[in-house]
Structure 1
Amino acid sequence: MKDFRRSSGGTARTVTHIRAAQEVLALTARLVPLRQLPPRHLPFRRGLVALGALTAAALLLSSCDGDGPDPGARADRGPAVVAPGRPGEPARTLSPGEAVKEAGNDSPNSADFRYARMMIAHHEQAVVLTSLVPDRASSATVKALSARIAAGQRPEIGAMQGWLTNNGGDGREEAHDHSTMPGMATEAQLERLRAAEGEAFDALFLRLMITHHQGAVTMAAEALSDGNNVQIEEMATDVIAQQTVEIDRMRSLLD
């Protein structure tokens, strides 16, 4: 009877470890979305995939040692996991338990909040730029492109405001000079755009919006590098993918 109880306990622990391994792999899939990322971020994302796989393997291997006399010691005995550092940071060696906690922690940090607050203001200026198009542009293609930009960025503003509300942010970037954000048009540039019409307006609008989009891509890349929250990562990834396509389209219209 004693051996049967030990076997039953070992089986239960094995099932628990298998389930934990499955959860780690599922979490890794969520943390590493199958979307286009800038090349400089791919090593970090691939490292997270490897971290998830190694952690799952460690849990499964530890389940095979389920009948030892000291369950607490067994929990710390699995293979060490090397966690990749973010760009510019060294890798770290974690125990299987530490690796699970590391993979599951996506609490927002200051970079996440900064990105959401600043990108709201950045998107709001893009909406202002597009609002000038209907009455001033001569190109139907520019008008259609502008409408798509506005239609894409308005919901993103709402999503970031909602994220801030859900995570305890107030949506304001206090005492921050928005003109210093990458790609922001100056007031003088806005005045020139308001005064322009026809083809001159089209060309100036495209140049300003290309610069504006490039700034947004820069900010999104910084969020991917420095942030920690999965939702912010997904929003930043979307910005990079969408606005890179729009930059290419606007450049083609200027050629």
Structure 2
Amino acid sequence: MNRQRASMLLAAGVAVAGAVGLIVATRSSSDSSAAVPLPSAVSEAPHRVVVPGRPGESAEVTLSDRVKAPDGVTYNGIDTTFVQMMIVHHGQAIEMAGLAGRRASNVELRALADRIGAAQAPEVTYLRTWLRARKLPETDPSHDHSTMPGMQTPADMAALRAATGAEFDRKFVAMMTDHHRGAQQMAGDVITGGQDELLREMANEMAVEQGSEVRRMAQLGI
């Protein structure tokens, strides 16, 4: 994430937190493209972890909800899981968006796909930086990425790659809408259960932005 985007995230915290409550927690009966309601966050009981000490110091045993990043920010397992899985989730959306420039027939859809890719690529960079700063792996073997909300199947992705013109446009809108709503659901988990405040602000912004993109795709009438 570049400095400009990081500053935007910090400044948007209060305003976005209020907006996301309206956008991702309710669904307007008059707008079928509004974000779906989010489930309650996954409950995670604190567990004992070993935190390495500084050079010359002993390791410390503490609870997982008291672990802090090098900058002193507290985070928990919900934060970590969200970051690790959203890197993969965003990666698929970026791939889908990249196909639109060569295959989409609708000019407005191509422009929206460019916007999606431009927004999510810096977010992936930030998420990877977040993990490196905490000496955490980018992947967790226990995660089944195929079960992530909104994740498209290999067969669906192959069909999208093979489509062109109006057929591509229809597939893209259906798949990206489902993908975005899945990302909003994942964002809801970290918004309500995570402990890293900046990460929660990022998830707020992500949910609002993707809700706007879902509505824009619906307005195209494809």
TM-score (norm 1): 0.61
Q: Does 1:192 align with 2:173?
A: no
Which residue in the other structure is 1:247 paired with?
214
In structure 2, runs of 5+ residues without a counterpart are: 1-9, 26-39, 44-71
Query: Which 4+ stretches in 1 moved above 3 angstroms?
Result: 29-32, 39-42, 86-89
Shift of 1:40: 9.5
3-state SS of 1:37 partner:
helix
Equivalent residue for 2:116? 149
Counterpart in the other structure of 1:38: 21
SS of structure 1 residue aligned to 2:101: helix
Match of 1:183 in 2: 150
Q: Is the 8 A contact 2:24 2:184 kept in 1?
A: no
User: Judging changes above 3 Å, is the alpha-carbon distance between structure 1 residues 213 and 41 closer, same or farther for their aligned structure 2 residues?
Assistant: closer
Structure 1 residues 136 and 175: alpha-carbon distance in aligned structure 2, compared to 1, 3 A threshold: same
Work out which of the residue numbers 218, 225, 243 in structure 1 matches 2:192.
Answer: 225
- Post-superposition offset of 1:41: 8.9
- When residues 114 and 138 of structure 1 are mapped into structure 2, their CA distance, relative to the original with a 3 A threshold, is same
Structure 1 segments unaligned to the other structure (5+ residues): 1-28, 43-85, 90-104
Residues 130 and 149 in structure 1, CA contact (< 8 A), matched pair in contact too: yes
Letter in 1 for 2:183: A
Counterpart residue number, 2:80: 113
Deviations along 1:71-103, one digit per CA (max 9) or x if unpaired, are xxxxxxxxxxxxxxx9899xxxxxxxxxxxxxx
Tell me the equivalent position of 1:235. Answer: 202
- 8 A contact 1:206–1:254 mirrored in 2: no
Structure with greater helix share of residues: 1
Shift of 1:217: 0.3
2:148/2:182 contact within 8 Å kept: yes
Superposition deviation, residue 31 in structure 1:
11
Task: Give 1:251 deviation, angstroms.
Answer: 1.1
Does the CA-based 8 Å contact 2:20-2:207 persist in structure 1? yes
Show CA shifts across 1:214-239 (max 9, x none): 00000001111111111210110111
Give, in angstroms, the shift of residue 213 of structure 1.
0.3
Deviation at 1:173, TM superposition (A): 2.5
Taking the aligned partners of 1:40 and 1:198, their CA distance within structure 2 comes to: 32
User: Aligned partners of 2:125, 2:204: CA distance in 1, in Å?
Assistant: 17
Please tell me the residue identity of whatever aligns with 1:220. Answer: A
CA distance, structure 2, for counterparts of residue 111 and residue 88 of structure 1: 8
The alignment covers a number of residue pairs equal to 170
Give the aligned partner of residue 173 of structure 1.
Answer: 140
State whether residues 117 and 173 of structure 1, in contact with CA within 8 Å, keep that contact through their aligned partners in structure 2.
yes
Looking at structure 2, the residues matched to 39 and 158 of structure 1 have their Cα atoms a distance apart, in angstroms, of 28
CA RMSD of aligned residues (A): 2.8
Q: What residue number does 1:136 align with?
A: 103
User: Which of structures 1 and 2 has the larger relative contact order (alpha carbons within 8 angstroms, sep 6+)?
Assistant: 2
